[in-house]
Structure 1
């Protein structure tokens, strides 16, 4: 899976840098953005959609977990498939699956009304599980970028994927709110055929399906297959993880992806309750905070990380990012206390200034760590095994996102409001240790 030290691989230093087909990088980043924009559309309505079936809020968490479990199972397989059959076919397949999944998701309410609660809820889960199974396309997109980008520019290029995530979460919810609004529903009811349901839950879902269809058409007509060596190795899911964990170059990275996903996904889920309970913020105010975080993510991952990577080694940047993340996570629940010693700024109370500052640190640390980890995976995997390596780390991240939210929610509810944030910080500490050990082994840090 990894490249022996001192060896060269096709398309890299010693064998010639990869040459991107004209515009390929921009096309694949645009495809990822459009697909994630569709995902962001449904975020505002998903909890209310579940509640419309008159079931427990537990189903909201289960629905999220069903997506992550399927992504965990499928991402390594799709990554390996992209190594053997090509990046473009796997992207096309996954985008087609996403289009179908969002369309079916929008029909769940009608099916529930016609055939009963069990069918409606079952349709919700079937659609989210299909979307999760297709969610491994991010690993394929990352592998595509690694195929067409020289090593020295890879961190900046991979950072654009992270920026696409952030942009999707900035514009997606706003578009979803528009599609779910009463005026939009009224217009759609007049225009659409009677057989197409038009309500505040179906329209955002159909909007997401339409955007996935656009991304699918973009991949079909504009995205070339990168020129690279393909592999035909067959390995089971367990076998892929076993190989990655046995590989000295990849073991720590797989563990790091899992731990940071447990920590960060749990914090993402519990941040809104924290903002409501500690700061008294309502939905509109927390939405502004999420937009603020999204904008920071675009700047950090789309601009800043790439510039830093041109001057510093990715392993060192990952150490800095993980260290900053430890401080930010541990400080977040105590931001009101930190704010008590800060002056008001631009009309904002000290507690709010502290919160915004800590969130800026959180975004910077997470961006630096995740992009650097992704770049390290790319550089330590062979040219032929990029998809497999990204699939395994994406799968580890998906497993972490399955574990993190319920664990952190339990800590928040049963222990103390600050406990999930402190637990998240403690989970990142071993990542710092792993990265420092790896950097020392490669002579990047003076052991004295």
Structure 2
């Protein structure tokens, strides 16, 4: 990889297999990848939603709760780095995706049999390792198989639609109900089943993406860490990584502590809490395609700046709203529009900044960095602050993360083709 040749962006010659794929197949691909990542997040969010049941039985502290979220993020990040690179080198995206899906489904059973903090921590580490490669591979498949004119929308749907409908909406609502009727252990067993079905659908319905036709588009053979250093010299890449670290910390910390805050501080019962948290899933599902689609038209940079600043509404509402649950859910709904920028900094901007041969590698870098720094340290810091200063401390941390993210995003170079054309500009992929 090398830095752009000029400060003035030039056209990116992004090649892929999308010219030979029918619109119907492109739609099927995005749908199945969205469904699969939704199941990933259903399993990932299960512990957060069930924490009001798990915490008293296992006697967990706030710091231990943060460590459980951090452990999964850490192993997720390591897998995102190296499975993305492996899929670039082998050119075998589908088989790696299927194996990862089966593995994380089996890992969910382990969470259900945990009898101590250490057992549960080990189970979450294994689940993160199984899940981490799913999204880099999925985004690389979208980048090569879907028409670039719809890339932002397709990547937004693949990453956010299923993950938020299943992981952020259905997970708290269904699993809390199931835990109330039976137990939190049976709820984990339930969460493990859908992934096996998803793996079968991907295996039978999707094709292994063909390698890019251009002679120069061969799998990378250089030193991985040298490529990472080279990629991080590109402005859009390091800004995407820094904003990603901050916003993933915001996301993981919110889900690690907000369910407990709503039940223990705000006084909501578990069922009401599950519907309030579920509003985040409905919001993010809607924003998954609206924000991504808007960014295709007005540009990536405006939404990357505005929506993190808007995100301060959520924690402020949690602290100061004195009305009913519906009003708090509405505040969360507006503030959670920030979730719509996640596929933009994790996938769309990196995939528009770099040539296709590097896609899984740079997407793994973007997602892995976000998880290993933001996902690991965010909840650890939030839990430690809560133990020392009180349970509203993590909310002030969320506010700071949002404000800093919006300011840093002001340095991005625009990559959206339509926005560049309107301004008479272009961009050359690295």
TM-score range, shorter chain: 0.7 to 0.9
2:125 maps to which residue? 129
Deviation at 1:401, TM superposition (A): 1.3
3-state SS in 2 of match to 1:300: helix
User: Contact conserved, 1:2 with 1:249, CA < 8 A, in 2?
Assistant: no
Structure 2 distance, partners of 1:16, 1:215, is 23
1:134-213 alignment runs, 5 A limit: 134-136=130-132, 137-160=134-157, 161-168=159-166, 169-177=168-176, 179-180=178-179, 182=181, 200-213=183-196
Please state if 1:395 is matched with 2:379: no
Q: Give RMSD over aligned pairs.
A: 3.3
**Residues 1:101 and 1:26: Cα distance change in structure 2 (over 3 Å):** same
3-state SS in 1 of match to 2:235: coil
Structure 2: which 5+ runs fail to align? 213-217, 424-430
Deviation at 1:83, TM superposition (A): 1.4
Structure 2 distance, partners of 1:222, 1:35, is 19
1:14-29 alignment runs, 5 A limit: 19=21, 21=25, 23-29=28-34
2:15 maps to which residue? 11
Deviation at 1:435, TM superposition (A): 2.2
1:422 maps to which residue? 396
Structure 1: which 5+ runs fail to align? 110-119, 186-199, 340-348
2:111 maps to which residue? 105
2:215 maps to which residue? none
**Residues 1:321 and 1:61: Cα distance change in structure 2 (over 3 Å):** closer
2:317 maps to which residue? 332
**Residues 1:59 and 1:420: Cα distance change in structure 2 (over 3 Å):** closer
Structure 2 distance, partners of 1:143, 1:37, is 22
1:61 maps to which residue? 66
1:372 maps to which residue? 344
Larger radius of gyration: 1
Once the two structures are overlaid, the 10-residue window that deviates more, 422-431 or 398-407, is 422-431
Deviation at 1:381, TM superposition (A): 2.2
Q: Deviations over 1:176-206 (max 9, x none)?
A: 3455455xx6xxxxxxxxxxxxxx3543333
User: Contact conserved, 2:220 with 2:358, CA < 8 A, in 1?
Assistant: no
Query: Please, which of 78, 83, 87 is the counterpart of residue 88 of structure 2?
Result: 83
Structure 1 distance, partners of 2:62, 2:307, is 35
Structure 1 distance, partners of 2:309, 2:255, is 19
Q: Deviations over 1:78-116 (max 9, x none)?
A: 11112122221221221122133123334445xxxxxxx
Query: Please, which of 309, 314, 317 is the counterpart of residue 295 of structure 2?
Result: 309
Deviation at 1:44, TM superposition (A): 4.0
Structure 2 distance, partners of 1:143, 1:440, is 21
Deviation at 1:256, TM superposition (A): 0.9
TM-score (norm 1): 0.78
Q: Deviations over 1:117-158 (max 9, x none)?
A: xxx665433332121112221222122222222232112112
Structure 2 distance, partners of 1:98, 1:205, is 12
The count of aligned residue pairs is: 402
User: Contact conserved, 1:9 with 1:382, CA < 8 A, in 2?
Assistant: yes
Deviation at 1:47, TM superposition (A): 6.0
Deviation at 1:398, TM superposition (A): 1.1
Query: Please, which of 27, 36, 41 is the counterpart of residue 31 of structure 1?
Result: 36
1:248-327 alignment runs, 5 A limit: 248-276=235-263, 279-302=266-289, 304-325=290-311, 327=312
3-state SS in 2 of match to 1:311: helix
TM-score (norm 2): 0.81
1:233 maps to which residue? 221
Structure 2 distance, partners of 1:314, 1:272, is 32
Compare relative contact order (CA 8 Å, sep 6+) and give the higher one, 1 or 2.
2
Structure 1 distance, partners of 2:285, 2:126, is 28
1:358 maps to which residue? 331
